[in-house]
Amino acid sequence: MMGGLSKMKMYHYTNPEAYREMKKESPGREGLSPLTCMLIPRYEGPDWPMSSSIRSIKGLLEPEPESWKENKEFPFLWVRLMNSFFINSDELMLLSCEILPKDDAYITDRANIERELYREGREGTTTNERLAAAFEKYWGERVPALEYQGGFELPQFEVLTPIEFERLNVEWVSKTKWREIYDLAKKQEEEAHKKKGETQVLPAELVLEQIKELDLR
């Protein structure tokens, strides 16, 4: 991609329940809000660095980017992301919208954060200093969305301004998509068990147990 684009497409996963809530916002505020909508859960707590709690709308540059789905360094990334939308719904929904010059939108590299989190999983501990450095790098290397020319390992959108409901397009709504996620989780779980200590990176058992409750036939 070349700099100075007039628009680019963002993909945002959610579920029908959350989508209905977007419709029910007070007049003039319908749509995606940086205060409530997050693509990837924030990692924060009472002792976590403030830089970990950027409020934004998160999205992907493609519906199912290969770097997120089949990543050897971060093997459970995609399954964990999809599992976060299981709450309150057994259906998965993909939205899209055009990112315009008026949006305060950036592309960031999620790998800067994931690398520290996976190190924590392998070693069993991390420090506020290392986490703060990871989030600082993540945010410090951001690029205005319409100027992004590639090069990030796990590119994602961070949009700091609301997106009006009329700009949102429903790409699809699916219940059978969970079968694909279940199969991927099972495959990655089996591969992880073959590697000593790798199951500590992110247990897939919880993901599998939740998805098994669905009627996947």
Give 164-203 as a DSSP string. Answer: EGGG-EEEEEESTHHHHHHHHHHHHHHHHHTSTTGGGT--
* Chain Cα centroid distance, residue 18: 15
Mean per-residue pLDDT, 75-81: 82
More confident residue, 197 or 157: 157
Tell me, yes or no, whether 147 lies in a domain: yes
Tell me, yes or no, whether 184 lies in a domain: no
More confident residue, 184 or 48: 184
Report the domain count for the chain.
1
Tell me, yes or no, whether 193 lies in a domain: no
CA distances from 194 to 76, 151, 163, 189, 199 (A): 15, 32, 44, 9, 9
Phi, psi of 164 (to 5 degrees): -60, 150
Q: How far apart are CA 93 and CA 203, in angstroms?
A: 25
**Residue 72 neighbours by CB under 8 Å, 6+ apart:** none
pLDDT reported for residue 1? 41
Residues in the chain: 217
Tell me, yes or no, whether 33 lies in a domain: yes
Tell me, yes or no, whether 216 lies in a domain: no
Q: How far apart are CA 141 and CA 120, in angstroms?
A: 22
Q: How far apart are CA 144 and CA 159, in angstroms?
A: 10
Q: pLDDT exceeding 90 applies to what percent of the chain? A: 35
Mean per-residue pLDDT, 184-211: 61
pLDDT reported for residue 177? 80
- Asked if the model's pLDDT at residue 79 lies above 90, the reply is no
Rounded to 5, what percent of the chain is helix, strand, coil? 40, 20, 45
Tell me, yes or no, whether 2 lies in a domain: no
pLDDT category at 195 given cuts 50, 70, 90 is low
pLDDT reported for residue 205? 55
Q: How far apart are CA 86 and CA 88, in angstroms?
A: 6
Tell me, yes or no, whether 195 lies in a domain: no
pTM summary value: 0.81
Structural domain containing residue 75: 9-175
Tell me, yes or no, whether 14 lies in a domain: yes
